[in-house]
A = this chain, B = another copy of it.
Amino acid sequence: MIIVLARDATEADIGAVVQEAARTGAAPAVARSGDATVVRVATDGRGGVSGRLRALPKVRGVVEGDLPYVLASRDFKAEDTQVAVGDVVFGARRVVLMAGPCAVESRDQLRLVARQVKEAGARVLRGGAFKPRTSPYAFQGLGEDGLKLLAETAADFGLKVVTEVMAPEQVELVGRYADMLQIGSRSVQNFPLLRAVGRTRKPVLLKRGMATEIDEFLGAAEYVLAEGNDQVVLCERGIRTFEPRTRFTFDVSAIPLLKRLTHLPVVADPSHATGAAFLVPAASKAAIAAGADGLLIESHPDPREALSDGRQAMTPDELALLAPALRRLAEAVDRTL
């Protein structure tokens, strides 16, 4: 059993928890994780000890068993958490559309995309300034110049900015320009980075890794929450499977599953999940039907056409056509877009 206490728990508060936990007969151990003080005790919670512990002062949460998360669980908090990025709220009735290019390339490109995605109904502009690339010789992003372009452009069009941060030492810099910090799928278990964004009070968009189990995903979110930042939005973005026709396999069931296990908002990235623009409309509709609180869609004014099905980004025209269809879907599940 794990008992998480608030940072401002006094020695007396901790002592009270230890004493109650010790009544199980097992020996409690006290440790710290970020903002939280943690008491662990090897017991199965029989006899109502869990309820008594929850009732003690400064106890933030209690979980039985060996789940890697407490604060992220529905058991800790039953009602949905809403994450506000300015006036854009994740986890409310309105489904949030985020769109933009994979990488920020130039002012012109970005302004063009921003106008187009705004018109299609997007409220958050996505775009990479620091890009994790398989090859060190591939374009690594414009860095701070890209961040500046994102911030300026978004301001001009009344959009919010979400962009990726790749290392703890970039958090302060990216946080200066971005409204929401994205943790990419390759960083889902970069624990120093998770702690670093947890120490900010910025909203975080946490993407599932390509081979991350649901419980590991929530463990990653817990790293952020344990530091005192509960403004975390989870993003399903496809998992790695044997199927070669899609880049990843979009695990749409992860959306309702996550929503049962956690109170945090859940969004989907159908562009990376499928890797093919022609599948994005159906995957986006499926995500909304399954309960997603938002969508993260890649859009580019001129997607490279190497293989017509191979290209991942939608054109703005395709996005403009998709938006009303998504709106109808949202309404059919008692939401708006």
Q: Which residues of A pack against B, CB within 8 Å?
A: 2, 4, 31, 33-34, 36, 38, 40, 67-70, 132-138, 140, 166-170, 186-187, 189-193, 195, 209-211, 213-216, 219, 222-223, 226, 239-246, 249-257, 260, 273-274, 278-279, 281-283, 285-291, 325, 328-329, 331-333
Structural contact, A242 and B240, CB atoms closer than 8 A: yes
Q: What separation, in Å, do the CA atoms of A148 and B227 have in the docked complex?
A: 28
Q: What separation, in Å, do the CA atoms of A283 and B213 have in the docked complex?
A: 19
Shortest distance in angstroms between A4's beta carbon and chain B's nearest beta carbon?
8
Structural contact, B245 and A214, CB atoms closer than 8 A: yes
Q: Give me 16 other A-B pairs in contact (C-beta within 8 A), A137-B222, A213-B242 excluded.
A: A2-B137, A38-B137, A135-B219, A136-B195, A167-B192, A169-B169, A169-B192, A211-B240, A239-B241, A240-B242, A253-B279, A255-B282, A256-B282, A282-B291, A285-B289, A288-B289
Structural contact, A189 and B132, CB atoms closer than 8 A: yes
Closest B residue by C-beta to A244? B213
Q: What separation, in Å, do the CA atoms of A245 and B195 have in the docked complex?
A: 26
Residues of B close to A256: CB separation below 8 A: 278-279, 281-283
Structural contact, B242 and A257, CB atoms closer than 8 A: no
Residues of B close to A282: CB separation below 8 A: 252-253, 255-256, 289-291
Residues of B close to A193: CB separation below 8 A: 167
Closest B residue by C-beta to A239? B241
Q: What separation, in Å, do the CA atoms of A329 and B285 have in the docked complex?
A: 10
Residues of B close to A186: CB separation below 8 A: 189-190
Shortest distance in angstroms between A54's beta carbon and chain B's nearest beta carbon?
17
Closest B residue by C-beta to A258? B245
Structural contact, B213 and A211, CB atoms closer than 8 A: no
